[in-house]
Amino acid sequence: MAAAKIPAVPAVLKALRHYIDIAKEHDARDPVVSYYCRRYAVEEGMKIDSKSPDSRKFLFAVMDCLEQMKKEFASNEAVHNEVVGQAHLENYALKIFLYADNEDRAARFNKNVVKSFYKASMLFDALQTFGELSEDIKNNRKYARWKAAYIHDCLKKGETPHAGPLDDSEDMFGAAGGAPIVPSNFPSQIQPQNPSIGGSQNNLVIPPGTHAPPTTPQDPGLNRGVIPGPSSQHIPPPVQPTNQQGAVNLTQEDYTTAQKYCRYAGSALQYEDVPTAIENLQKALRLLQTGKE
């Protein structure tokens, strides 16, 4: 594959290394994740340095790789349709995030949890390739980075971390120390197709202001049982139209949003995630029936 021809990340673009590493981990496992991590890395790299010879060589090589991936995965809708791609990447990031959160709340503290929290935060970053992040994703990203640094520091000091959000976390870390925000339509029981998050031993680059997690943890398996997370499996009944004649004035934005929910449902079915698919389809139906989310 074209990824083999990508040179090492130059020093001036070292902030991109973790996204490139995640992309490499997923080349065989999940090319959609791989594709959008590389695309985000290119977009960020162009902002950092697009003029030096080393940076240009690296960025052009990654762009060539992206073009090759488009051809190689011509039949993969998530690579060519950004609505589907965004749903796929967001669901994948949330699964990793919820795995780490479930382990943390069960007081199973180890290097795998640190790496999972941090990897989820990187994938939340990559979602910016689709535009501005929602407030929920921003909060979860901040919480994941804080938890990764906090648990790592506690383990390093030989201390036992506090499971879940801290009661006084707002004083310590603002709103990010509070409970993570997970979409109500997202399942608490995580059963993705892929048995592991990734097996790379690559170093992780931590943004300023946090402490680096260990560089060689083993990735956790996601196919084992996990405890219920912060969201609920309850599926509400469909909402009937408020207009007796069924006439609802829908805007173009309403149609786009309904299509997004349908794409999310399709992405969930790729993971055999029936509750999430049903929830998203019901949200689309509710919007089409009532004109309200």
CATH, residue 286: 1.20.5
Residue 218's pLDDT is 36
Both tokens assigned to 73: 């995965």
Q: Is residue 185 part of a domain?
A: no
What local confidence, expressed as pLDDT, does residue 216 receive? 32
Question: What was the pLDDT predicted at 266?
Answer: 77
Of 54, 75, 96, at which residue does a domain stop? 75
Q: What is the DSSP letter of 3?
A: G
- Residues 63 and 122 occupy one common structural domain: no
The Cβ of residue 286 has, within 10 Å, a number of other Cβ atoms equal to 19
**Low-confidence stretches of the chain (pLDDT beneath 70):** 1-2, 4, 167-247, 267-268, 270-272
Q: Do 129 and 163 share a domain, yes or no?
A: yes
pLDDT computed for residue 35 by the predictor = 97
Assess whether 61 and 116 both reside in one domain.
no
Which pLDDT score is estimated for 118? Answer: 97
Domain limits at 9?
Answer: 2-75
Shared domain for 44 and 100, answered yes or no, is no
Domain boundary among 75, 95, 125: 75
What's the confidence (pLDDT) of residue 261? 76
Judgement on whether residues 91 and 69 belong to the same structural domain of the protein? no
> So what's the pLDDT on residue 268?
65
SS3 annotation, 71-117: HHCCCCHHHHCHHHHHHHHHHHHHHHHHHHHHHHHCCCCCHHHHHHH
Domain count, the chain: 3
What CATH number does the domain containing 33 carry?
Answer: 1.25.40.270
How much is the pLDDT for 243? 41
